[in-house]
């Protein structure tokens, strides 16, 4: 009788690992679930992520935003719930889109994978230069809202 044992290769870490940012804004508990790609020497804004086209705001599955209380985003109301978040980058202004469809892969052959009929809220925000270079995409939740941080850019979104 012979027994064979095959060594399995250890799983490779994902190129864009899943992350979750958690925080409070006022009484609301906020979480943002996303996959975090890295710059890897690439030019991100305007090339890897084109200007003027909806983007899944991360990698892999669509980024999700959850709040357990009604809030205002950039002064506009958003009901408690779970939403997919997509962004349309621009050189001087970005759109942030909250969409009621969740659980989908973030892109399709047509681009960002969402049905605009399910958009619940779209707000405009102004990006700014980040305090430091961020190799991996990250979201940061503070008492004033959240920011997307990647490469040399910060995209703040005000919440109350």
Task: Read off the pLDDT of residues 96-118 as tens digits, 9 standing for 90 and up.
Answer: 999 999 988 888 877 888 999 99
Q: What's the confidence (pLDDT) of residue 153? A: 97
- Of 3-7, 99-103, 121-125, least confident by mean pLDDT is 3-7
Report the predicted TM-score, pTM, of the whole model to 2 decimal places: 0.89
Q: Give tens-digit pLDDT for 133-149.
A: 999 999 999 999 999 99
Cα 31 to Cα 7, 36, 83, 139, distances in angstroms: 39, 15, 11, 10
Q: Which two tokens stand for residue 63?
A: 């980024």
**Residue 134 and residue 31: Cα distance in Å, rounded?**
20
Is residue 158 over pLDDT 60? Answer: yes
């Amino acid at each position: 009788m012979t027994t064979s044992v095959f060594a399995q290769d250890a799983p490779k870490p994902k190129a864009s690992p899943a992350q979750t940012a958690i925080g409070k804004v006022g009484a609301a508990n906020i979480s943002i679930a996303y996959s975090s790609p890295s710059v890897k020497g690439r030019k991100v804004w305007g090339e890897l992520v084109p200007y003027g086209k909806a983007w899944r705001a991360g990698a892999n599955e669509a980024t999700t935003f959850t709040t357990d209380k009604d809030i205002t985003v950039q002064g506009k109301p958003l009901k408690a719930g779970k939403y997919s978040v997509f962004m349309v980058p621009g050189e001087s202004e970005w759109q942030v889109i909250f969409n009621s469809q969740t659980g989908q892969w973030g892109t399709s052959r047509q681009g960002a994978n969402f049905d605009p009929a399910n958009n619940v809220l779209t707000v405009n925000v102004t990006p700014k230069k980040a305090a430091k270079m961020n190799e991996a995409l990250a979201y940061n939740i503070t008492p004033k809202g959240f920011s997307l941080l990647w490469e040399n850019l910060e995209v703040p979104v005000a919440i109350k």
